[in-house]
């Protein structure tokens, strides 16, 4: 009898061992993430938020996660999932992308976006566009339908029109909140100039553009073929100068994906460009064998602040591990697991 029990226990152990070897992906994917999004980092403080506004942000982030997740569950690619999630946020006035884009110094909305397919390193991006309703779709069209990676201004708009994308009057991007933010920053700047309080460094780097509420949007997804994709879309920074381009549309800077990891950034673009943030995270993983959490933390908590920059990023690796470091007060962010469990966060919880 005792022997029989021992044999049974032994057989169960052998079966468990074999299943872990034969079906590692099943065990690995349990509880792992398939989609991660952000709605921008910045000075996002609970004390400055109304419960209604907080709810509105959480609802928009949840909708973006659900929309991308539904694509993945329908067997669509990670590229389709990140595009779909970003479109939801571009169409919301809450985020600094698409509809809710911030204003330039001249009172215009100039939008940047990029998308990258980690399975083949194909990428597309647009910069300085003013009439494309969903710049992320234009970035995807450039990746899939042109021989180029990046197109800017009126050329990108012409291409988007030919690709059948929705073109809008620039007035579509006008929102009162963003307009007021521009007036506010301009007022603060003129007071600073009168008082001669701006130090040399801030004049050089354009602190007048730094409104501490970045609000760019981004997404990284892992599809059921194991392919990663990343996407980022932004209006840039309030009061930016004519023709200024940030990190978001630059491949390897604000947006990057390969077979190991996908990354989308948000923050003070000039510093992210100088730190080549997204590719640096991927390189630390590839060449230094760091985990996604270690690599993302190294870049956002050490390298970018060492230059004087701030912001955050989201990263998702090929095994469904996620990292979302930020060195600002808050970052709108959310994740969804393979089982559909959603988590949405705003502050340093």
Give the binding site for ligand ASP (CB under 6 A). Answer: 40, 96, 214-216, 234, 236-237, 246-248, 254, 266-267, 269
C-beta closer to ligand ASP: residue 247 or 317: 247
What is the distance between the alpha carbons of residues 323 and 344, in angstroms, rounded to a whole number? 14
Q: How far is the CB of 213 from ligand ASP (least distance, A)?
A: 8
Whose Cβ is closer to ligand ASP: residue 100's or residue 320's? 100
Place of tokens 């003070």: 268
User: In this complex, which beta carbon is closest to ligand ASP, that of residue 98 or of residue 246?
Assistant: 246
CB 339 to ligand ASP: min, Å: 30
Shortest distance in whole angstroms from residue 61 CB to ligand ASP: 15
Determine whether 328 is an active site residue.
Answer: no
Contacts of 293 (CB under 8 A, 6+ apart): 321, 323, 325
Owner of token pair 């509105």: 56
Closest of 233, 295, 286 to residue 259, by C-alpha: 286
CA–CA separation, 128 and 151 (whole Å): 9
Q: Taking Cα atoms as reference points, which of 81, 92, 91 lies closest to residue 115?
A: 81
Q: 216 vs 275, which CB is nearer to ligand ASP?
A: 216
Catalytic residue among 104, 130, 131, 216: 216
Torsion of CA 275, 279, 281, 283, to 10 degrees: -120
Q: Give me the DSSP letters along 256-298.
A: EE-SSEEEEEEE-HHHHHHHTHHHHHHHHHHHH---HHHHHHI
> Cβ 248 to ligand ASP, closest distance in Å?
5
**Residues forming the active site:** 216
């Amino acid at each position: 009898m005792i022997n029989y029990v021992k044999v049974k226990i032994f057989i169960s152990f052998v079966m468990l061992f074999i299943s872990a070897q034969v079906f590692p992906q099943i065990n690995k994917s349990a509880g792992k993430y398939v989609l991660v999004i952000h709605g921008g980092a910045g000075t996002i403080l609970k004390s400055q938020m109304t419960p209604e506004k907080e709810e509105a942000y959480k609802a928009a982030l949840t909708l973006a996660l659900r929309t991308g997740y539904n694509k993945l569950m329908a067997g669509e690619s990670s590229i389709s999932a990140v595009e779909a999630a970003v479109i939801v946020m571009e169409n919301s006035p809450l985020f600094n992308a698409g509809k809710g884009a911030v204003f330039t110094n001249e009172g215009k909305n100039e939008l940047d976006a990029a998308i990258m397919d980690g399975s083949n390193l194909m990428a597309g991006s647009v910069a300085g566009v003013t009439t494309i309703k969903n710049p992320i779709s234009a970035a995807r069209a450039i990746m899939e339908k042109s021989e180029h990676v990046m197109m800017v201004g009126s050329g990108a708009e012409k291409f988007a029109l030919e690709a059948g994308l929705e073109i809008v009057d620039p007035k579509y991007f006008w929102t009162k909140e963003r307009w007021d933010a521009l007036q506010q920053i301009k007022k603060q700047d003129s007071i600073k100039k009168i008082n001669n309080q701006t130090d040399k460094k801030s004049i050089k780097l354009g602190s007048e553009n730094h409104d501490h509420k970045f609000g760019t949007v981004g997404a990284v997804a892992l599809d059921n073929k194991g392919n990663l994709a990343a996407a980022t879309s932004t209006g840039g920074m309030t009061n930016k100068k004519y023709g200024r381009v940030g990190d978001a549309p630059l491949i390897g800077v604000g947006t990057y994906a390969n077979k190991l990891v996908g990354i989308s950034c948000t923050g003070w673009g000039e510093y992210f460009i100088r730190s080549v943030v997204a590719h640096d995270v991927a390189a630390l993983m590839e060449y230094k064998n760091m985990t996604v959490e270690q690599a993302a933390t190294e870049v956002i908590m050490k390298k970018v602040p060492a230059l004087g920059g701030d912001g955050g990023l989201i990263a998702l690796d090929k095994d469904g591990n996620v990292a979302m470091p930020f060195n600002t007060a808050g970052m709108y962010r959310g994740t969804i697991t393979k089982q559909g469990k959603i988590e949405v966060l705003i502050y340093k919880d």
